Amino acid sequence: QEQLVESGGGLVQAGGSLRLSCAASERTFSHYAMGWFRQAPGKEREFVGTINWSDGKIVYGDSVKGRFTISGDSAKNTVYLQMKSLKSEDTAVYSCAASSARYSDSWYYPSRYAYWGQGTQVTVSS
C-alpha cells in the first residue's frame, strides 16, 4: 500500500501564492506519475496536473496553466504544487495521487490513479 501525505494547505488572499507538498515513498516516487487533483464543494474532482519524474513530462489542467507549477525533489521523494495568482475559484480540497499509467493522455482521469493522499484544504479569500 503506497502512502501519500499532503501538506501546505491553508487560507490565502486572492492574488497570493501557496505551495503544496506531497511526500511519497521512494518506490512510489520513482515508479508512478504523481498528480494533483482538486475538488470544490458540489463539484466533480478536477485534474490539476501530473509529473512523471522518470522522463520529466508534466501535464497541466487548462484552468491552472500559467499559474501553477509542479516540480519534484527526488532526494526527498516529494512532489510540489506551486500555486500563484490564486483566485477564489481555486478554493478546493487538493489531493495528491499516484498513477501507473504510462501515457499522459490517461493522467486526466481520477480512475487512472491507484493511490491517493488524504487531501489538504486550500481556501482563497476574495
Residue-wise pLDDT for 44-86, tens only, equals 999 999 999 888 899 999 999 999 999 988 889 999 999 999 9
Q: How much is the pLDDT for 102?
A: 83
Instruction: With a cut of 90, say whether residue 90 has pLDDT above it.
Output: yes
Rounded to a whole number of angstroms, the distance between the first and last alpha carbons of the chain is 39
Instruction: With a cut of 90, say whether residue 43 has pLDDT above it.
Output: yes
- Confidence class of residue 2 from pLDDT cuts 50, 70 and 90? confident
Instruction: With a cut of 80, say whether residue 1 has pLDDT above it.
Output: no
C-alpha cell at 1: 500500500
- Phi, then psi, of 111 in degrees rounded to 5: -65, -15
